[in-house]
Amino acid sequence: MHEVTARELITVSGERVRVPDPDRLVHLQFRRFAGCPICNLHLRSVVLRHEEIVAAGVREVVFFHSPADELRGHDLPFAVIADPKRRYYREFGVESGRRALLHPRTWGAILSGTALTLLGRFRPPATRQEGGRLGLPSDFLIDQDGRVLAEKHGEHAYDQWSVDELLALVSREARPRRC
């Protein structure tokens, strides 16, 4: 596995976040854009179980390829990073592609996320997305030394780790290793 260079990121609320975090694992999530119905649906599951994730020793850091102004006010309990120029997306090999929305496994998430947006449960996205709408999600689990313990590059727009998958990875990585 590869390593992540130490850095300090600034969240949309102005908080400074260190990656890697010297005290806990970091789950880096790369999502699409602010207000993306598919991303909102997934992040709702993360929000509902955020305390459980924190109790497992994990810090959530979520990137969006939207400007900070569009991300403020989404009221998420974890670090949200604006990356409209997609600098970190390129660095971590996070891609876009037509298959993002065409895969049949995205259709249910598109319908559910859109319905919840229309019902007012999620903030709608901006009409125009500078970074495009065809982003693919990616997840990285990084230890305190910057080693990438696990990663997933989505094959479609709703292909990311579930909270259960994340917690299983954390549990597996927390086991003592034999030399």
* Whether the predicted pLDDT of 178 surpasses 60: no
Query: Is 51 a domain residue?
Result: yes
Number of domains in the chain: 1
Query: Is 157 a domain residue?
Result: yes
d(CA 10, CA 4): 17
Lowest-pLDDT range of 28-32, 74-78, 140-144: 74-78
Cβ count near 164 (within 10 Å): 10
Classified as helix, coil or strand, 5 is coil
Determine the pLDDT at residue 179. 43
The domain of 40 spans 7-171
pLDDT digits (tens, 9 = 90+) for 23-40: 999 999 999 877 777 788
Better-predicted residue by pLDDT, 154 or 36: 154
Query: Is 2 a domain residue?
Result: no
The 3 state secondary structure assigned to 102-164 is HCHHHHHHHHHHHHHHHCCCCCCCCCCCCCCCCECCEEEEECCCCEEEEEEECCCCCCCCCHH
Q: Residue 5: which pLDDT band, with cuts at 50, 70 and 90?
A: very high
Determine the pLDDT at residue 13. 93
Phi-psi region of 148 (alpha: psi -120 to 50; beta: other; left: phi over 0): beta
pLDDT digits (tens, 9 = 90+) for 58-69: 999 999 988 898
Query: Is 48 a domain residue?
Result: yes
Q: How far is CA 124 from the centre of its chain?
A: 18
CATH number of the domain that residue 148 is part of: 3.40.30.10
Question: What percent of the chain lies above the pLDDT cut of 70?
Answer: 75
Determine the pLDDT at residue 38. 78
